[in-house]
């Protein structure tokens, strides 16, 4: 383990592998180490040939290391290690792809299942190799009879989470923590060789009960009290739904605008199809009196067209104008206002990501992420079946998600003086923000314990907006609100190095005054 830790440290110091909290997992207990390998190879290799060659090399090293830890490099132990990693490969690859997809699509509902799958795999398979001289099937049976060795796995998992959180909070320590992670793995392997508990089933049941109780408490405490309705606001409110919405459908349409202080005659709904005489109301809180009916495909049109449509529809509204933009729409509104193509007084960003941390290359282009990009396109039918229609090569997806750093470049544009901005994030989205959630705006609201899609209908969202519109103090934010993201950040993929990308793209934005053609 000391040799493995030294190798990882050297590779990190030399820049061969990126330094991010997940670096500590390269010397973690199997199959967490395999999960770290695949996350790296999927998003950093330039071609399929490079991916397959490096995968073969890394897998061989993993097999030899496990065999050595099991007692020596003989045929039986090498065969056992090979069978173990081959058994774990399919589920771990699935988790790695879902993890990378979440970062590329900025979709936390893919990230959390990926982390849950990895947790289950580590919990069930982590103790298997260290149960004495036995074949893989016999070792699995022995692991179950010994209660999954919870007396060893619980402290180890706690240590791994704590080390990952420390690396996330103090990045300068990440490389120095690699030997500590390796030591935790070595101690765990040593502890597996000691006698198991006398009543392993009772210990396992106790852990499961405790986990269930904590989960129930967590879910039951997510509710927020409805705030008092805000006073009547001056001027109109323009509501912008996010990508893949349609006229009258999308959570933003269901926002309780009257609680925020707006009557229906003050409320307008943005249309991705342009101006018109009205749209179907469907689930919208108020009648949609303006704009042309639009479908999900309209939200994927080129970004410069979306910015122009926003500017055109905002120009017809009186001042002071408040815009509430959900998710992808926040980038559109920001770009239009920053380039002085639209005049807005208050901008409310609802679940807008400050980063596009990963990106993916165009089809058939050999550059970092080629393998992941191909797998993402092959998985589109499954994504559409499980989540929503998605095409990674539509104009909007390519311009805003395809290149790492696109969001940073947009939000790096300076807004006109006097524009008030409130940013509200979902706590579930925080792990997909490796550079932090805060924007350079007047107020960053406390992260809301609600799903990304549910933010606009959350009582916490209403409370934050009412306070902001009426120049009241923000909602008190507990210090622990982002702890979940801090602890779990190490399970994400390494973000791309986007500093140079942001600088170049921001320069193009300033020159063109639009993000079209980027």
Same domain, 161 and 244: no
Number of domains in the chain: 2
Same domain, 124 and 256: no
Which range has the worst mean pLDDT, 22-26, 260-264, 401-405, 411-415?
401-405
pLDDT at 504 over 90: no
Same domain, 142 and 284: no
pLDDT at 464 over 50: yes
- pTM for this prediction: 0.90
Residue-by-residue DSSP string for 428-497: GGGGG-TT-S--SSSEEPPPBSS-GGGGGG-HHHHHHHHHHHTTPPPPP--GGGGHHHHHHGGGSPPPP-
Per-residue pLDDT at 516: 35
Nearest to 100 by CA among 352, 315, 369: 369
pLDDT at 223 over 80: no
Same domain, 167 and 254: no
Choosing from 166, 195, 224, the residue where a domain stops is 195
pLDDT at 225 over 90: no
Residue range 367-381: average pLDDT? 91
Q: 87-127, pLDDT tens digit by residue?
A: 999 999 999 999 999 999 999 999 999 999 999 999 999 99
Are 12 and 6 spatial neighbours (Cβ–Cβ below 8 Å)? Answer: no
Phi-psi region of 278 (alpha: psi -120 to 50; beta: other; left: phi over 0): left
Between CA 518 and CA 160 the distance in angstroms is 40
Instruction: Determine, yes or no, domain membership for 176.
Output: yes
pLDDT at 12 over 90: yes
Q: What is the dihedral of CA 65, 69, 70, 76, to 10 degrees?
A: 30
Same domain, 12 and 107: yes
Per-residue pLDDT at 508: 42
Same domain, 247 and 178: no
Per-residue pLDDT at 383: 75
Return the CATH number at 280. Answer: 3.40.50
Instruction: Determine, yes or no, domain membership for 385.
Output: no
Between 479 and 317, residue with greater pLDDT: 317
Same domain, 154 and 266: no
Instruction: Determine, yes or no, domain membership for 517.
Output: no
Structural domain of 266: 237-358+404-494
Structure confidence at residue 382 as a pLDDT band (50, 70, 90): confident
Choosing from 133, 161, 195, the residue where a domain stops is 195
**To the nearest whole number, what is the mean pLDDT of the chain?**
91
Same domain, 148 and 290: no
pLDDT at 499 over 70: no
Same domain, 144 and 244: no
Instruction: Determine, yes or no, domain membership for 387.
Output: no
Q: 269-319, pLDDT tens digit by residue?
A: 999 999 999 999 999 999 999 999 999 999 999 999 999 999 999 998 999
Are 17 and 8 spatial neighbours (Cβ–Cβ below 8 Å)? Answer: yes
User: What CA–CA distances, in Å, run from 166 to 183, 485, 492?
Assistant: 16, 12, 15
Per-residue pLDDT at 498: 57
Per-residue pLDDT at 135: 87
Same domain, 306 and 414: yes
User: Which two structure tokens, joined as six digits, stand for 375?
Assistant: 């797998």
pLDDT at 506 over 70: no
Phi-psi region of 471 (alpha: psi -120 to 50; beta: other; left: phi over 0): left
Instruction: Determine, yes or no, domain membership for 338.
Output: yes
Same domain, 267 and 174: no
Structure confidence at residue 391 as a pLDDT band (50, 70, 90): confident
Same domain, 24 and 119: yes
pLDDT at 75 over 70: yes
């Amino acid at each position: 383990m000391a040799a493995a830790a030294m190798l990882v440290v050297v590779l990190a110091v030399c820049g061969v592998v990126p330094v991010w909290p997940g670096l500590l997992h390269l010397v973690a207990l199997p199959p967490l180490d395999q999960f770290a390998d695949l996350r790296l190879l999927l998003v950093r290799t330039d071609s399929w040939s490079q991916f397959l060659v490096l995968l073969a090399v890394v897998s061989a090293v993993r097999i030899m290391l496990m065999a050595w830890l099991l007692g020596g490099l003989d045929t039986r132990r090498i065969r056992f290690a090979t069978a173990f990693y081959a058994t774990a490969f399919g589920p771990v690859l699935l988790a790695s792809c879902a993890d990378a997809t979440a970062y590329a699509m900025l979709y936390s509902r893919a990230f959390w299942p990926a982390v849950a799958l990895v947790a289950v795999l580590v919990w069930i398979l982590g103790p298997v190799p260290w149960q004495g001289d036995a074949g893989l099937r016999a070792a699995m049976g022995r692991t179950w009879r010994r209660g999954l060795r919870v007396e060893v796995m619980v402290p180890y998992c706690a240590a791994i989470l704590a080390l990952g959180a420390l690396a996330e909070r103090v990045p300068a320590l990440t490389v120095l923590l690699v030997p500590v992670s390796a030591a935790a793995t070595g101690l765990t392997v040593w502890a597996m060789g000691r006698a198991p508990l006398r009543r392993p089933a009772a210990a396992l049941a106790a852990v499961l009960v405790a986990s269930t109780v904590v989960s129930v408490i967590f879910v039951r405490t997510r509710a927020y009290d409805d705030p008092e309705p805000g006073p009547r606001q001056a001027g109109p409110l323009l509501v912008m739904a996010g990508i893949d919405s349609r006229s009258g459908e999308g959570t933003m349409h269901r926002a309780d605008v009257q609680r925020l202080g707006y009557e229906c005659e003050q409320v307008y709904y943005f249309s991705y199809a342009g101006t018109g005489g009205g749209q179907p109301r469907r689930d919208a809180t108020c009648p949609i009196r303006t704009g042309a009916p639009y479908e999900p495909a309209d939200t994927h049109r080129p970004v410069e067209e979306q910015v122009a449509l926003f500017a055109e529809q905002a120009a017809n509204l009186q001042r002071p104008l408040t815009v509430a933009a959900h998710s992808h729409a926040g980038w559109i509104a920001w770009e239009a206002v920053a380039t002085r193509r639209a005049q807005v007084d208050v901008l409310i960003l609802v679940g807008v990501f400050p980063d596009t941390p990963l990106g993916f290359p165009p089809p058939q282009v050999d550059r970092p992420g080629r393998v992941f990009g191909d797998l993402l396109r092959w998985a589109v039918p499954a994504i559409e079946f499980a989540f929503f229609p998605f095409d990674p090569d539509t104009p909007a997806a390519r311009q805003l998600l395809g290149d790492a750093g696109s969001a940073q470049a947009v939000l790096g544009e300076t807004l006109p003086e006097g524009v008030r901005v409130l940013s509200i994030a979902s706590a579930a989205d925080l792990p997909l923000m490796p550079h932090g959630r805060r924007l350079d705006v007047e107020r960053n609201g406390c992260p809301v314990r609600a799903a990304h899609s549910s933010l606009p209908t959350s009582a916490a969202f209403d409370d934050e907006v009412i306070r902001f519109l009426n120049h009241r103090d923000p909602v008190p934010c507990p210090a622990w609100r982002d702890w979940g993201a801090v602890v779990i950040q190490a399970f994400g993929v390494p973000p791309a190095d986007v500093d140079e990308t942001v600088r170049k793209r921001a320069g193009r934005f300033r020159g063109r005054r639009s993000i079209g053609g980027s």
